[in-house]
Structure 1
Amino acid sequence: MKKMSRLGLMWGWLSILAMLVGCTTAKPVAEWRDANYQGGPFNNFLIVGVAGQESIRRTFEETFVNRLRDEQVNAIAGFEAIPGEARPSKDSIKAAIEEKDIDAVLITHLVGVDEKQIYHPPTYSGGVYGYYGVVRGYAYEPGYVSKQKTVKLETNLYDASSEKLIWSMQSATINPSNEKKLIEAKIKTVVKRLKAQQLLAVP
């Protein structure tokens, strides 16, 4: 068996870590659609993000609107359609729907953040005798514990005219590097699933 140097093992772990940090994804963990709904696809969205910080809400809504416009789909951010309300009321949303001729309302909110510790077993060469091989020059990396954060977000799509929930999806993002990456990953997944469900009126 070839011996691996400690330096080689270290660079291997660093390469894996770099890939994880540079690739933030929002994986769908639950999805539902009203099987009896016959409407859609939609072409004029009201985007509402529910967040504790107004800056995060604005970033989310703006990013989502720009993403839909890239798809040539009309959209308006909640903070623009309903100014002055951090958490828009039902009456405010209904008024914005009528004024802006909205046909669908997309609301995203945080479900929860889970944090846990993960044990990574030691890496060594030499098969079942690897531990004995340590003292004889085999490469060895001790086990260690890392923290894993999973952010879960839920997006609900409503038909504006009937106020009926027609689609819902929860996603999970593991160890997002920052809020911007988390938002972009979530929006990318939502748009992909809306297309698959034929709820997005793309040209």
Structure 2
Amino acid sequence: MKKPIIITLINVILIWGCSPTTQITASWRSDEAHSEYKSLFVAALTENLQIRQNIENEFASRLQNRNIVTTRSIEALSPDFFDSNEPSKDQILEAIQAYNSEAILTITLIDIEEEERFVQGGPMGPGFAPIGRFGYYGNFGGYFNHWYGAGWNQGYYKTDKKYFMETNLYDAETLKLLWSAQSKTLNPNDIEAFAKEYVDVLKLELRKEGFVQ
């Protein structure tokens, strides 16, 4: 009877471990938005060049598979474009319109929240270490060493980081906002992994809205 229980627990752990940490928290769509844009200008509005590259590259790669011509801001604007002062709107629009994109997709980090929480510990059963016939319990010293080293998990404090992003879709000609979505990402492991998961979630949302195939 134990084997099915163990397999079930493993499956639950795997499902929980692989579940996405990025979630859409709110979205809005204009009545003027139409379906299936064929060309997008993607701009991650951040001074962090690595984040900008990873997010824009992921969008370009995924949308290319949907037969959408994608222009990354890093192709049209210099890598240090966002470093000096606040860039001019006219400069950005001039670069965007040069590529004749139908719509503009912007990605912005709007907030970061940190929250400390205590992860409760607890006793670890015999299954966590081989005991043998008498094992660690043959004498007090062995038992104490086992208990002190592995028998009790005393818990620890963990700081959760929540990243709040905003993704907007604008019409390239009228510059009107067509669609907006806010998302929350919990404890991203690294920039590359975050970019892949974030783009996966946003691409699915764009498909639900009918903006891409």
Q: Given the two structures, how large is their TM-score scaled by the length of structure 2?
A: 0.71
Matches within 5 A, 1:1-150: 16=13, 20=17, 24-34=20-30, 36-83=31-78, 86-87=81-82, 89-123=88-122, 141-150=153-162
In 2: Cα distance, 1:150 partner to 1:17 partner: 22
In 2: Cα distance, 1:175 partner to 1:18 partner: 17
State the 1:153 CA deviation. Answer: 1.1
Evaluate the alpha carbon distance shift between residue 198 and residue 145 of structure 1 in structure 2; reply closer, same or farther with a 3 A threshold. same
Instruction: Tell me which amino acid in the other structure corresponds to 2:27.
Output: E
Evaluate the alpha carbon distance shift between residue 117 and residue 82 of structure 1 in structure 2; reply closer, same or farther with a 3 A threshold. same
Structure 2 segments unaligned to the other structure (5+ residues)? 1-5, 125-146
Instruction: Tell me which amino acid in the other structure corresponds to 1:116.
Output: E
Instruction: Tell me which amino acid in the other structure corresponds to 2:58.
Output: T
For 1:5, the equivalent position in structure 2 comes to none
Q: Which moved more, 1:189-198 or 1:94-103?
A: 94-103
2:193 maps to 1:198: no
**Residues 113-140 of structure 1: CA deviation (Å, up to 9, x unaligned):** 1111112345469xxxxxxxxxxx9x86
Q: Is the 8 A contact 1:150 1:175 kept in 2?
A: yes
Instruction: Tell me which amino acid in the other structure corresponds to 2:116.
Output: Q
2:174 is paired with a residue whose SS is coil
For 1:164, the equivalent position in structure 2 comes to 176
Q: Is the 8 A contact 1:54 1:86 kept in 2?
A: no
For 1:177, the equivalent position in structure 2 comes to 189
2:201 maps to 1:189: yes
In 2: Cα distance, 1:90 partner to 1:109 partner: 16
Structure 1 vs Structure 2: percent identity of aligned residues? 26
Q: Is the 8 A contact 1:149 1:174 kept in 2?
A: yes
Q: Which moved more, 1:164-173 or 1:82-91?
A: 82-91
**Residues 42-64 of structure 1: CA deviation (Å, up to 9, x unaligned):** 11000001122223212221221
For 2:127, the equivalent position in structure 1 comes to none
In 2: Cα distance, 1:195 partner to 1:65 partner: 15
1:100 is paired with a residue whose SS is coil
For 1:132, the equivalent position in structure 2 comes to none
State the 1:151 CA deviation. Answer: 1.2
Instruction: Tell me which amino acid in the other structure corresponds to 1:31.
Output: S
Evaluate the alpha carbon distance shift between residue 172 and residue 84 of structure 1 in structure 2; reply closer, same or farther with a 3 A threshold. closer
Q: Which moved more, 1:75-84 or 1:178-187?
A: 75-84
In 2: Cα distance, 1:39 partner to 1:18 partner: 36
For 1:129, the equivalent position in structure 2 comes to none
State the 1:98 CA deviation. Answer: 2.9
Instruction: Tell me which amino acid in the other structure corresponds to 1:71.
Output: R
1:64 is paired with a residue whose SS is helix
Q: Given the two structures, how large is their TM-score scaled by the length of structure 1?
A: 0.74
Instruction: Tell me which amino acid in the other structure corresponds to 1:42.
Output: Y
